[in-house]
Chains A and B, each alone.
Chain A
Amino acid sequence: MKERVLIANRGEIALRVIEACKELGIDYVAVYTKEDEESLHVKLAEKKYRISDYKDMNDLLAVADEAKCTAIHPGYGFLSEDYRFARRVVKRERPLIFIGPSWEAIRDLGNKLFLKKLAKELNIPVIPGTTQPIFNEIEAELKAEELYETLNFQGNYNYSLMVKAAAGGGGMGIAEVRNLDELRPVFRKIRAYAKRFFGDEGVIIEAKIPYIQHVEVQILGSKHNEYVHFGTRNCTIQSLSKQKRIEIAPGFLYDRGEYGFDIKKIENEIINYSLKLAKYFKYDNVGTWEWLITPEGKYFLMEVNTRIQVENEVSAKISYVNNKQINLIKEQIRVAFGEKLTYSQQDIKFKGTSIELRLVAEDTKRGFIPLSGTITKFFWTPKPWLSVRTHVPQDKFYNIPTQFDPNLALAIIYGDSFESAKKRALEFLEDVKIEGTTSNGERLITNIEFLKEKINWLYKFIPA
């Protein structure tokens, strides 16, 4: 029977999955909501269904049954990291293939406290802190004192502490404690916040690492216990709410001596630890292991992203198998259908540097607030080293919907070395033009100036 994939997503990733399916010779079905009737992924798909919401599991599964699909690709965002959806897809009367890791992996690796506990068992370094949620003030004070003393005994500089809501995420419910006297009121505040917003009073206390680089490892596993990595990526430049804005592969700058540690050794160590955890968990799809690295060469596992990521293409652009560029989405689909990898780690060669810039309609000077409105002009000069992934049409006006992220385009730039890639990225940023008005009638602002400024910051340790 021919495989058929339901693409349960929109925008750029839906277009990429359609492309991958076409190259693999697999049928595909698209879904869309009323905001997306004019979108490019709807126009490109031959078979499409209108649903009420991209997050409506019942609608997606009903469409999958009706269109006789055999698999579901969740993309990123929406339901991609919802283990309940993954579990339902594989455990129903008419089971489907979930193009992503197993639901157990999504549930367990997605839980920060569980990941911490597991990593400690496997001797993988994690950010020092409590592994259990704390509910009690006295207990919190004891734990904080203990943590504070060990940290400032080992390190050369003063660490401060972070009090976080255990169920929180995305920069919500976090406060810094510089002095232990401040701990009790801050703890009470965060506990009340956690109860109100997440329905869970649990609070954790962690060390705050003053200066960091954010490096991640791209892993691919198959159902036949094969595990490979596609190198590292550097995602240090982020917005205020910790959304990535510039990604660059490889994650370290090899030919410069700005680091106070052995780059090759540290890179090997984080890759090996990531593979160790993937093997332990029998991880059978694409995934990203995110690490924080300090200027002294200490590293900590922060989280695991159990899905394809927005920035997958920067790794794909520099990875070659038998002199052919890799496509991670194609690999992901192939692996999910139970195929073998057909290559091993030795066959993967890395060449050059790739930079991804995310063009977003946002006001970077006023706390990165997202903007909406109409784009009247979106123009760039095509170049052989440049690929721009966008769902914004170039030939007509485009209304930025308020329901979704105002992500306009991804620009992926390739260069033989870091210096040439950086030069080309700046050239692209000078060249690209986005014009339009906000819904308030003002001139539309994008983050181009911010990107220009920050590109020179790459590979520097920034305050966390």
Chain B
Amino acid sequence: MEIEYPELNLLLQKFRANPYKIYPVFTPHTGYIKEFKVKEGDLVKGPTGKWLEKPGSPLFILEREKNTKIIRAQISGIVQNLKMEFLNKFVEAESCVLEIKHQLSQEEIISEILLSALYIIKAPETARYVLSPSLALKLEKEGIGKVKVKTGDELLIMTFMKRETPIYLSQEGDFVIYRLYFTPFQLIQKDQPLIGLCLEEKLPYLEKIVKKIKKEWPSS
């Protein structure tokens, strides 16, 4: 337990001081913003996935070619930086209309910490991904957090537009598969995380930090 990771401790301190993350809300397509359903400082709720629930609080109404669309919050939090000047104006696709200040929960903080602590394999391009068959079998048998991989091992197969390209582990060292960030054959955007790997000697320390967070933050 002697190995120290000062950057992780620093990150943890940052989360203690400011346990928020800001999510910008973009327009999905062009159109006119007809009405804002929220004011600055309002509390909005994201979808919880419950039966018969309306998914997310309405944020604003976007009209294009006589069709209206209600844009709903995808995450719960407080509305800020609302751009009132967009009201009844034409907006382009993917312009930022408002921001939601979201308080991080215990699981979210753990995943944020893991994202910076683990060696992350990112998607090299927008495509569909599957685990390599031998690795998938191993994972099924031994479970996540136990399967070991080393340099040169085939991890994933990228499939897109009739191509199938294997992806190998290029980083030096012995790793343990700690997290999977994708479901097989789902379209993944470029640079999104796919697999989180942990150096074998780093593993006990990481588990210690996770335990610490679980004790410090209330679980939702």
Contact = CB atoms under 8 A, between A and B. Distances in A.
Interface stretch (A2-10, A52-60, A208-216): A52-60
B204 interface: no
Interface string A347-382: 000000000000000000001011110000000000
Contact of A369 (B28, B30, B162): B162
Interface residues of A, number: 22
Contacts of B160: 402
Contacts of B127: 402
Interface stretch (A17-25, A61-69, A231-239): A61-69
Nearest to B161: A370
A369 B160 CA distance: 10
A440 B161 CA distance: 15
Interface in A369-404: 369-372, 402-403
Interface residue range, chain B:
20 to 34
A51 interface: yes
Given A59-B29, A370-B163, A372-B125, A52 B65 contact: no
Interface stretch (B12-20, B40-48, B89-97): B89-97
A395 B202 CA distance: 43
B67 to A, nearest CB: 7
Interface in B138-187: 160-163, 165, 167
B161 A402 contact: yes
B69 to A, nearest CB: 10
A51 B163 contact: no
Contacts of A33: 93
Contacts of A367: 162
Nearest to A92: B65
Contact of A62 (B31, B124, B163, B167): B31
A49 interface: yes
Contacts of A50: 30, 92-95
B9 interface: no
A66 B94 contact: no
Contact of B30 (A63, A403, A439, A440): A63
A453 to B, nearest CB: 23
Task: Identify which of A51, A52, A439 gathers the most chain B CB atoms within 10 Å of its CB.
Answer: A439
A324 interface: no
Given A59-B29, A62-B65, 18 more contacts: A49-B92, A50-B92, A50-B94, A52-B28, A52-B29, A52-B93, A56-B29, A58-B29, A58-B65, A58-B67, A61-B65, A63-B30, A369-B162, A371-B163, A402-B161, A439-B124, A439-B125, A440-B167
28 contacts: A49-B30, A49-B92, A50-B30, A50-B92, A50-B95, A51-B92, A51-B93, A52-B30, A52-B93, A52-B94, A56-B29, A58-B29, A58-B64, A58-B65, A59-B30, A59-B93, A62-B30, A62-B31, A66-B30, A66-B90, A369-B162, A369-B163, A370-B163, A372-B125, A402-B125, A402-B161, A440-B124, A440-B167
